[in-house]
Amino acid sequence: MRIALIGYGKMGKEIEQIALDRGHEIGLIIDQHNPKDLCADQLQNIDVAIEFTNPDSAFGNYLKCFEANVPVVSGTTGWLDRLPEIEKQCKEGKGFFYASNFSLGVNLFFELNKKLTKLMAPFKEYNVDMEEIHHIHKLDSPSGTALTLAEGIIENHPKKDKWIEATSMKEDELSILAKRHGAVPGTHSITWHSEVDEIMIQHQAYSRKGFALGAVLAAEFMPKKEGFYGMKDLLQL
């Protein structure tokens, strides 16, 4: 495939290397120095765009790709207030693949989190909270991964209605403690605790390679597709 990379930071460079190793071609690279190159003329021979930028520019990037009928794979978080507009575009024939986290291990962790929540829900003796740790350059807090985990708890626990980025003693609130340290790729811990014991599940990423491989696999999945897709579609979870 000919891939457009929109965003060329550490993640973009990791994606580039994996894509090249898998036999693909990088036909266009967009970063802060050449945003005007993201246009129909430059996209005309592109099979799929992989977008990892920031919440302020992501939505506009999607629309420019859609105008050129190029499907998009995106891992940018923090823009989901405009998700209904993207879903509308997908119903009109555009292709979009979104994940808050492209790691295979994290997506299995999402499913484990839901299953554990269903098991714990009947037992009022246990409360649950979450901690996430990311590198200091992470722009959004809590992370998109943490919010997906929070949604998995709220959807499957009758007493949890919302999350809060603080310590809360309220029964209906899920506490999320978001930390930013050094160059940590990402650690997420969910703890169910009672007066007598606790149960913890945790995912810890060692590098960006797992995320980058997932993004390239998603790109391989998307050419000529219409509609809205995610990791469940790719991994058939």
- E strand or H helix that includes residue 153: helix 144-156
CA distances from 88 to 48, 66, 69, 82, 96 (A): 19, 12, 15, 10, 11
How far apart CA 48 and CA 73 sit, in angstroms, is 7
Assess whether 193 carries a catalytic annotation.
no
Active-site residue (options: 94, 134, 157, 160): 134
Assess whether 138 carries a catalytic annotation.
yes
Active-site residue (options: 24, 64, 94, 138): 138
User: What is the full DSSP assignment across 138-150?
Assistant: --SSS-HHHHHHH
- Classify residue 135 by burial, with Cβ atoms within 10 Å: 0-12, 13-18, 19+: middle
- E strand or H helix that includes residue 211: helix 209-221
User: From the CA atom positions of the chain, what is the Rg in Å?
Assistant: 19
Q: What type of residue sits at position 225? A: K
Q: Report, as residue numbers or ranges, the catalytic residues.
A: 134, 138
